[in-house]
Structure 1
Amino acid sequence: MSAQLAVGTYRCRDVAQSVAAALSAGVTWVDTAPNYAFGTAESSLRPLLGACPHVRVSTKVGFVPDSDRRAARAAGVLPYDHDRGHCLTRPYIAWQVARSRARLGRVPDLVFVHNPEHGRPDRTGPACCGC
């Protein structure tokens, strides 16, 4: 496999315009997250991704955006002890992936875990299996 040129949407002022310019320059991968652009990045990509099905997209799970907090609580997937910043419980991750899928208009090609070290209460030692 060869490297692919990608565009990130973390600090884009206009996500759709920036990604459209990158796609016209030959980019084949877009990276985004539910919290980028004040919670609007994924939904603003939907028309572009719909028009360019060959473009791959990645997003992230684990971070709890302010824009999603109320909906996550209402869905019963955000425990109050995980309410500040990050949540790596299976129900929350599944809910967040489903929400990203709806916003993007398709299944993400890759999903990153956002800051997995926040899942450890002491933040010391190995973050997962010790690898």
Structure 2
Amino acid sequence: MISELSSPFGSSPELVAVYFAEALQARIISLYIRTYTLLTFKTKTLALAQNQKICNALQSYNSISPLIKFSHFTRNQAIFQALEGEETVRIIDLDIMQGLRWPGLFHILASRPRKIK
């Protein structure tokens, strides 16, 4: 029922529901069969090749465009300011792709002065 009501192309909550439904299916199947494979090898190979092409394209674009770097910097600053005074941070990124946006945020969060209790 969760699979029918969710979409991998929908909003973030729908995407979480898709992943949750897949995890439940894997769990149920592994209980009965003791193995779980996602789709077929051919589909996996095509998906990996497509993901690699997308990753390479994004890395090339990031290296030549200051717009992406600037948007990451300003977003990280806004997040950093919003988290002032917070002790813990949990980040859930459902569309991480190559993850280029997070190292800068992790760096500024790690450099915050720690409160001693």
Q: So what's the TM-score if we normalise by structure 1?
A: 0.22
Structure with more strand by fraction: 1
**CA radius of gyration, larger in:** 2
